[in-house]
Structure 1
Amino acid sequence: MPSTDVPRLLADLPECVATASPEQRGALWRLAEPGRQLDANLVRLPAGGAVEEHVEPDLDVLLLVVEGSGTLWSEGRSQPLTAGALAWLPRGSHRALRADPAGLAWLTVHQRRPGLTIRPARAATTAPAETTEGGEPPCWSNRVCPACGRPAEGTAPSYCSRCGERLEST
């Protein structure tokens, strides 16, 4: 077994939260070990911050509150979140988070997604212009989260549904 595949301490999550700026939102720490099968992110919302309602269609997610408090909204119900609370967010479920005045920091853990891949462009068609469907696809670079690289969901997303990072608007 390679020396990197041994159990070891990766982070002190309360320390990560304590040393970050109080207004910093989004991912404060990420699991980045090569060859891993899991993804994990320490995410923070400042006081009153929110991750609007979204759906994770493919992955179950565990959410462990590390610091602060807030509310998990799902399927028309609100559930209070405090330090130590562990929530299961099943794939396909609608969910939203809102931080209380103290802010909210949590760890998410889920199966790792395969990375985005760049595919070669399709060969240009030689069909006459009147039979060719034209136009360029829209640029969606503003929908890719700068913190975790995940494409955002929804028609006009403001925040990443994975890590809570604010998305740039166009």
Structure 2
Amino acid sequence: MADTPHADGPAASAGDPVPRLLCDARELAAVDPAPTGALWRLAEAGRQLDANLVRVPPQGRIDTHVEPDLDVLLYVVAGDGTVDTDQGREPLAEGGLLWLPHGSRRSLTAGRNGLAYLTVHRRRPGMQIRSHRD
């Protein structure tokens, strides 16, 4: 396979990582009838991030939970709703970007048109088997 030139750098070799468009989140969120749950997941080999596009049905809810280890960015792709935290309720609308720091308690409620959002966080390491040494 031949090297591919970069606009402002040396040519890439066959094994180099290459940026690429993965999906159109707005198009996935706009499917009618709207499916619920995870519409898309980042599954690329060797990635350092995890990402999910999630759809919550109208008036649907993600119950209160805490992510103890990872900060999460949540980007509202379509619809609206609210996030409830220990500090109160915040409205969520298309284009909103919410930071959910690790250890924070939160729940989400979709509005009457549902809510589609993208979450991004550091990838969790896979389970590892370790030997116990005395």
Identify the TM-score tier after normalising by the shorter chain.
0.7 to 0.9
For 2:76, the equivalent position in structure 1 comes to 65
Measured after TM superposition, the shift of residue 3 of structure 1 is 4.7
Measured after TM superposition, the shift of residue 4 of structure 1 is 6.3
Measured after TM superposition, the shift of residue 36 of structure 1 is 0.2
Measured after TM superposition, the shift of residue 2 of structure 1 is 4.6
Measured in 2, the distance between the counterparts of 1:55 and 1:20 equals 31
TM-score (normalizing by structure 1): 0.65
Measured after TM superposition, the shift of residue 20 of structure 1 is 5.9
Stretches of structure 1 lacking an aligned partner (at least 5 in a row): 121-170
For 1:162, the equivalent position in structure 2 comes to none
User: Which one has the bigger strand percentage?
Assistant: 2
Structure-to-structure mapping, 1:23-62, within 5 angstroms: 24-62=35-73
Measured in 2, the distance between the counterparts of 1:109 and 1:80 equals 20
- Report whether the alignment pairs 1:14 with 2:14: no
Measured after TM superposition, the shift of residue 21 of structure 1 is 3.6
Measured in 1, the distance between the counterparts of 2:16 and 2:78 equals 30
Percent identity for Structure 1 against Structure 2? 56
1:48-69, Cα deviation, whole Å (9 max, x unpaired)? 0000110000000000000000
Measured in 2, the distance between the counterparts of 1:98 and 1:27 equals 16
CA contact (8 A) 1:69 1:102 kept: yes
CA contact (8 A) 1:62 1:110 kept: yes
AA in 2 matched with 1:5 = P
Structure-to-structure mapping, 1:105-144, within 5 angstroms: 105-116=116-127
TM-score (normalizing by structure 2): 0.81
For 2:105, the equivalent position in structure 1 comes to 94
AA in 2 matched with 1:41 = N
- Change in 2 beyond 3 A, CA 1:15/1:113: same
Measured in 2, the distance between the counterparts of 1:4 and 1:107 equals 27
For 1:137, the equivalent position in structure 2 comes to none
AA in 2 matched with 1:45 = V
Measured in 2, the distance between the counterparts of 1:81 and 1:49 equals 14
Stretches of structure 2 lacking an aligned partner (at least 5 in a row): 1-12
1:110-166, Cα deviation, whole Å (9 max, x unpaired)? 00012345x59xxxxxxxxxxxxxxxxxxxxxxxxxxxxxxxxxxxxxxxxxxxxxx
- Report whether the alignment pairs 1:81 with 2:81: no
Q: How many residues align?
A: 118
